Chains A and B, each alone.
Chain A
Amino acid sequence: MEKKNIIEALRKKFPEQIMDISSQFGDEIITFESSALLDIANFLNDKPYEYTMLLDLTCVDYKGEDQRFEMVYHFLSLSLNDRIRLKTRLPEKSPKIDSLTSIWKNANWLEREVYDMFGIHFNGHPYLIRIFMYEGFEGHPLRKDYPLRKQQPRIRLRKLE
C-alpha cells in the first residue's frame, strides 16, 4: 500500500525527472535523471515518507554502452519498514553526480568507495580520495576493463627460487 503511495507521489512530484518505474522479483525499481538526485533524496528523507536511512550505494559498470555507469541507491524507511531502489545512468566520459554527504553521513565512505572502484566523481564531496586502494594505484579495479589479476605492488617483491 505504502509502496504504491510513494511511487505515485514521486511520479507526481517529479514528472520530468522520473524516467521509468518497473518491478522485478518483488522489488520496485525507479530510474531517474541523474541531475535530480539531491531533490529526490531530500523528498524521500523528509516527512511523510521518511526514508531516513541510506542503506547502500553502489555502481554497476555496463561496458560498451553509451551511458556506461549505473548508480544504484537503496533507501530504507524505518517507520514504513520499506525499501526503495533508485537507479540512474552516467556517461562514460567524465561521469559525475551530486554527492549525498550533505544529507547522509555514511555517504562519505560509500562514495569514496565508488570513486575508488569505478572512478566516478561526486560533486560536493568533502574528501574524495581512494579508500581501499593505495596512493599510486592506477586504474579502477571494479571496472570491467581492469584485468582481474593485474597487480601493482607497493614494494619490490622477492624472487622465488
Chain B
Amino acid sequence: MGKLNKTEKLATNGGWITTKFNEVLGWGRKYSLWHYPFITACCGMEYMSAACAHYDFDRFGMGWTRFTPRQADMLLVCGTITHKEAPVLKTVYDQMTEPKWVVAFGACAVSGGIYDNYAVVQGIDRIIPVDVYIPGCPPRPETFFDALIKLQEKVQKEGHDWRWKKRT
C-alpha cells in the first residue's frame, strides 16, 4: 500500500465518507464488468489470448466470463457477423438486462472488414447499438485493453438514470 489520501484513511479507519451516488455506482459498475463473449471467428483467438494468463484482463476487473446473457453486463462481439447469425446476436442482446454495453471487437464486427459481400453484415451497429469499436484484423490484446479502459471511462460517466435515457 502506498500513501493513502484523506478519504481513504477515513474509510479504512472505520470512518465514513461522502460521495455522489452516481460516482460510486459508476465506480462499482466499471470494475465488475461481467462479459458475454459472442465469439464467431478469428478475433476469438485474440480474445483467448487476452483472457489467459499472459495478458490477463482480470487485471482490469472483467474476470468473469458469463455464457448466459442474463448475467452479463457487456456483450463482446468478436468476429464476423453474417446475415444468418444476425437474429441470434439480436436475441442475445435483447436477453441481456440493463444496464448493458456492447463492444465491437475487430474489423468485421466494426464494419464487415474485408468481407464486403452478400453474406456479411456490414458492421454490427446495423443490428444493435455499439459503445466501443476496436479496429484491427484481429486487434492485439493491448488494443483490447485500451478499448476496455475507454469503456470503463464511459461507464463511470453514466448515471443511475439510464432507465429514462433513450436507448435505441
Contacts and interface: CB of A to CB of B under 8 A. Distances in A.
B84 interface: yes
B146 interface: no
B84 A158 contact: no
B118 A154 contact: no
Interface in A78-137: 132-134
14 contacts: A132-B119, A146-B118, A147-B118, A148-B116, A151-B119, A153-B121, A154-B83, A154-B84, A154-B86, A155-B86, A155-B90, A158-B125, A160-B125, A160-B126
Interface residues of A, number: 17
Contact of A149 (B84, B118, B121): B118
A151 B83 CA distance: 8
B146 to A, nearest CB: 24
B127 interface: yes
Nearest to A142: B118
Interface in B137-159: none
Interface residues on B, range: 10 to 19
A152 interface: yes
A149 B125 contact: no
A150 interface: yes
Contact of B118 (A134, A148, A158, A160): A148
B28 interface: no
Nearest to A148: B117
B87 interface: yes
Contacts of A149: 116-118
A151 B119 CA distance: 7
A150 B122 CA distance: 12
Contacts of B118: 141, 146-152
B127 A158 contact: yes
Nearest to B124: A158
Closest 5 A/B residue pairs (Cβ): A157-B126, A134-B84, A155-B87, A141-B118, A153-B83
Contacts of A132: 84, 119
A16 to B, nearest CB: 41
A36 B13 CA distance: 90
Interface in B98-143: 116-119, 121, 125-129
B39 to A, nearest CB: 19
B116 A157 contact: no
B91 to A, nearest CB: 10
A116 B168 CA distance: 36
A79 B75 CA distance: 51
Contact of A153 (B86, B125, B129, B168): B86
Given A146-B118, A158-B126, 17 more contacts: A132-B84, A133-B84, A148-B118, A149-B117, A149-B118, A151-B83, A151-B118, A152-B118, A153-B83, A153-B121, A154-B83, A154-B84, A154-B86, A155-B90, A157-B126, A158-B127, A160-B125
Nearest to B116: A149
A154 B22 CA distance: 40
B62 to A, nearest CB: 26
